[in-house]
Amino acid sequence: MSFAALLVLEDGRIFRGRGIGARVERAGEVVFNTGLTGYQEIFTDPSYSGQIVVLTYPQIGNYGVNDEDRESLKPYLEGLVVREFSQIASNRRSQQTADEYLAQAGVPIIGDLDTRALVRHLRDQGAMRGVISSLDLDPRSLKEKARSIPTMKGLDLASTVSTKKRYQWTEPVPASSPSEHIETAEQKFHVVAYDFGIKHNILRKLRGIGAHTTVVPASTTAEEVLSLKPDGVFISNGPGDPEPLQAQAKSIGGVIGRVPVFGICLGHQVLALASGAKTYKLKFGHHGCNHPVRNELTGKVEITSQNHGFAVDPDSLPADLQVTHINLNDQTLEGFRSRKDPMFCVQYHPEAAPGPHDSAYLFDEFRELMEGQR
């Protein structure tokens, strides 16, 4: 069953479509993702907290959802915008249709919408606030609602999605996992992972390099982390603006130089803040699994999975940090490492859920750093 629905942006642009699943109203920053597959991983990526996601691939939902492909325990996006939504799932691994899955979480879907026009508008004007509704169909009312929600700049969402309690990741790597790493028999490293919105496949990758992982809240201090006697510290991806995370950056700064540190996405930005660098908001962000990045140390180009709306200002990096990766689409900073301490980070998602496996070597580099410090 479908019903009339609207997506209205803060600038007053109106997009009409058909609502599917949850008959609700939700608001958030509207962004677009250019991936061709992996929609369930996108639904359950905590980095999409506070955002309405437009998928540029025309048909979504056709292979359903299953428990193994979840990147967290629930969907985090505020709403889903698609051109065509399939309410029929055709896949042997499917356990539920995608619209049923999102409806149970109260996440609205709006389909039969001109996603090409919407994406071009966001690309030209930048990501902006919007409201999806099948309850209120008054465009002027929805425009005012869109303008009333907080902007993403200055918004700390990482603290809201982070785990509230420390826990151990003990789940084995599934037999169907696309992970490049085969689980080792011996878990000889102890990694403490800061959860700013961590994804399950990151934890699988860490297990695959021989690490048993303790996941800790974003507010955990350096002293608390070091008391766990880790061989390495991982700083995860997550949603929102890194700038409000000054206390977390200070804590993480107390770990740098004590043990090997590896950060990705928001973790990359927090490590930059901890090192004295600055961040800024991108016009429409990087969301997709087809972004070319050049490794400045090897000259090789990686196709990467990305999901972020902020970036690190390379001109603000202190002299003891070396640029290691550059985005070939817009030349933004995609990675750096310390010249004096065992610390490195990248802006993208090397665990590739969803996405290509070009960057899996970074987990091997983390393992080598931990081996070298023993």
* Residues annotated as part of the active site: 265, 349, 351
Closest CA to 71 of 112, 40, 27, 110: 40
Among all chains, which residue has been given the structure tokens 């080792």?
184
Angle at 180 between CA 161 and CA 192, to 5 degrees: 40
Residues 6+ apart with CB under 8 A from 56: 32, 33, 34, 115, 116, 119
3-class secondary-structure state, position 137: coil
Closest CA to 59 of 84, 42, 32: 84
Cβ atoms < 10 Å from Cβ of 189: 21
> Alpha-carbon distance 311 to 315, whole Å?
12
What element of type H or E holds 295? Answer: strand 279-295
**Is the CB of residue 241 less than 8 Å from the CB of residue 153?**
yes
**Is the CB of residue 347 less than 8 Å from the CB of residue 311?**
yes
Residue 332, both tokens: 């933004």
Residue 79, both tokens: 């709403």
> Alpha-carbon distance 132 to 79, whole Å?
7
Helices (H), the chain: 39-43, 98-104, 115-125, 139-148, 158-161, 200-208, 222-227, 246-253, 266-274, 361-373
The phi and psi torsions of 29 (rounded to 5 degrees) equal -75, 130
> Alpha-carbon distance 123 to 229, whole Å?
46
Closest CA to 240 of 78, 71, 104, 46: 46
Among all chains, which residue has been given the structure tokens 């985005």?
327
